[in-house]
Copies of this chain bind each other. A is one copy, B any other.
Amino acid sequence: MKLTILGCYAATPRTLTNPTSQVLEIKNHMFLIDCGEGTQVQLRKHKIKFSRINHIFISHLHGDHFFGLPGLVSTFRLLGRDKEMHIYGPKGIKEAVTLLLKLGDSWTNYQLYFHELTSAEKELIYEDEKVTVETIPLNHRVYTNGFLFKEKLGERKLNVDAVKYHEIDKAYFQNIKKGKDVVTEMGEIIANAELSFDPVKPRSYAFCSDTAFKPDIIAQIKEVDVLYHESTFLESEKHLAEKTKHATAKEAAEIAKKANAGTLILGHYSTRYKSISLFKEQAEEIFDNVLLADDGKCFEF
């Protein structure tokens, strides 16, 4: 998995900071998460191929999370896209994007599917043979979902030495990878555990922005490998976090600790702070493994 932060600052785009958008590379997918104004320029800057993006997940309809979407949808057309595109986001997102296109007498020359979300409960919104995506219902001023991206458990790995030793024919390899035992022509049973190794542990990534401190997401994201959790404010502005339904760095760390996350990535910093280093300091009082998102940063895990 590789996470590229295109923007991770709250509120307005500025000369050197961008509103929320990130690209998650997982099992050959490039999932775009949120799309603040300027996202298409950030994609170019970080040399992410537009044609590799087929799924866009929008957490909520505040401008700093989706005002870049109509422009991106238009640019896909100008670039001659013909592959279909799927957009997942709160109800209303279809009306917004299609109105803006219609006013410009524009259209897309590719199939554009909107998957509008309204549920207050977690939902499975995407699944293929290697990956699932669930919503994580959050608590913000408007209807908001985080997203939980999970790799599926892959095939077992062939123990090459063992299959050689037992002189097992290639024809059995697929079954071994699927966990089956082998019955030889002599009727002997060779246990799968002897012929294969456990598959690589599937990884998971939870994106939680924007939200107030919401401990009831913990059960869903338990043992997640990487948690991106918004931390708009420091402790000194905890009252603003409560008022605006955002979280502090410490609250993000509290969630990470209770969920036993592998790593916590902080982001969605209020632009009032000159430096973001205090976010890490304050979160580390609660949780050990804290990283700071910043525009342009890549995380591989």
Contacts and interface: CB of A to CB of B under 8 A. Distances in A.
Interface string A27-47: 000000000011011001100
A62 B12 contact: no
A15 B100 contact: no
Contacts of A106: 62-63
Contact of A67 (B41, B44, B70): B70
Contacts of A60: 104
Contacts of A93: 103
Given A38-B37, A105-B142, A67 B13 contact: no
A45 B15 contact: yes
A13 B78 CA distance: 12
A14 B44 contact: yes
A63 B67 contact: no
Contacts of A13: 38, 40-41, 71
Copies of this chain held together in the complex? 2
A63 to B, nearest CB: 5
Interface string A64-78: 000110110011001
A96 interface: yes
Q: Which of A12, A95, A96, A100 has the most CB of B within 10 A?
A: A12
A60 to B, nearest CB: 8
Contacts of A44: 14-15
A131 interface: no
B68 A74 contact: no
A103 to B, nearest CB: 4
Contacts of A38: 13, 37-38, 41
Contacts of A168: none
Contacts of A99: 95-96, 99
Given A63-B70, A78-B12, A96 B105 contact: no
Nearest to A62: B104
B96 A92 contact: no
A96 to B, nearest CB: 6
Given A11-B78, A14-B44, A71 B104 contact: no
Contacts of A11: 75, 78
Nearest to A46: B15
A141 interface: yes
A100 B96 contact: yes
Closest 8 pairs (CB-CB, A-B)? A61-B103, A12-B75, A37-B71, A92-B103, A62-B104, A63-B74, A67-B71, A105-B142
